[in-house]
Amino acid sequence: MNKGVSESLSFVAELRAAIHPNDKVEVLACPPFVALSAAKYALAGSAIKLGAQNCHPEAKGAFTGEVSVSMLPELVEYVILGHSERRAIFGEKDDFINKKVHAVLAAGLKPILCVGETLAENEAGQTEAVLERQIKAGLQGVSAEQIAKVVIAYEPVWAIGTGRAATSADAQNRCAFIRGELRKLYGALADEVRIQYGGSVTAANAKEILSQPDIDGALVGGASLKTADFKAIVEAA
């Protein structure tokens, strides 16, 4: 929840001037809903793509204050779903997030499904059980034809906004576990699924994290609010 319309426009202009994605790196910006339309026009002709931070699964109806998935295809290509803050603060459960995944896919958009354990779950040795549950429930009913359009973002809750990132080895192990779970569900198609790491990714640690074999990208939080830092992360990728 950062940057209003004018701030977002200024920031997008900075990004467009500083970052020039090539065919090896895809760059996605996810402004607040109020700034999406303005950002789309500001990025017209740019290789930087747009995503939404969330959506409601219903196309329309009595859900005052929500943004439906049907409102987004004119604006974005991706939608972030199941972010730890949506789960922890707003009480979103796996089955509700699964409805969003299906709605996003049906709308022709690409879901970024976030999964990850809390500090208590991590310390209790429950990380893999949590990831298995969130993967299976979040992807319930997603077909083999659809899975290549899904991005999985591993974000350990204890590492988000704390400055405490998982070690590159731990991040790799968790992302490899996620790919193993995908392989159980989808076979060799698991290798086509992009798996990101999110959780205090910075300009300083991005290269080491992104060099891991099962980490295909980064879901960047605080560091994405500073053009120079975000540019360095893109260059590391």
Rounded-to-integer distance, Cα 74 and Cα 5, Å:
18
Question: Based on the structure, what is the number of domains in the chain?
Answer: 1
Residue tagged active-site, from 83, 85, 92, 181: 83
Q: State yes or no: pLDDT of 23 exceeds 90.
A: no
Higher pLDDT pick, 45 / 165 = 45
Domain that holds residue 80: 5-236
Overall average pLDDT of the 108-137 stretch? 95
Beta bridge partners, 213, equal: none
Is 20 an active-site residue? no
pLDDT value at position 133?
Answer: 98
Quick check: 67 pLDDT over 90? yes
Q: Which single residue is written with the structure tokens 């074999």?
A: 213
Q: How many percent of the chain have pLDDT more than 70?
A: 100
- What stretch of H or E contains 52? strand 49-52
For residues 227-236, average pLDDT = 95
Question: Does the pLDDT value for residue 135 go beyond 80?
Answer: yes
pLDDT above 90 for 200: no
**DSSP 3-state assignment of 178?**
helix
For residue 190, pLDDT over 90 is answered with yes
- Residue 158 binned pLDDT confidence (cut-offs 50, 70, 90): confident
- Active-site annotation holds for 83: yes
* Structure-model confidence comparison of residues 172 and 20, the more confident one: 172
Per-residue pLDDT averaged across 134-143, rounded?
98
In three-state secondary structure terms, 197 is: strand
CB-facing half-sphere around the CA of 184: CA atoms within 13 A: 9
The CATH number of the domain holding residue 29 is 3.20.20.70
Indicate whether 126 pLDDT > 90.
yes
pTM attached to this predicted model = 0.96
- The yes-or-no verdict on residue 162 having pLDDT over 80 is no
| Residue tagged active-site, from 85, 92, 117, 155 | 155
User: b/e map of 37-71 (b: 16 or more CB within 10 Å)?
Assistant: ebbbebbeebebbbbbbbbbbeeeeeeeeebbbeb
Q: What is the pLDDT of residues 99-113, one digit of tens each?
A: 999 999 999 999 999
Burial tier of 152 (Cβ tally within 10 Å: 0-12, 13-18, 19+)? buried
Least Cα distance to 88 among 151, 138, 141, 160 occurs for: 160
* Residues of the chain above pLDDT 90, percent: 89
Residue-wise pLDDT tens digits, 212-226? 999 999 999 999 999
| Predicted local confidence at residue 165, as pLDDT | 72
- pLDDT for 22: 83
Query: What does the mean pLDDT of the chain come to?
Result: 95
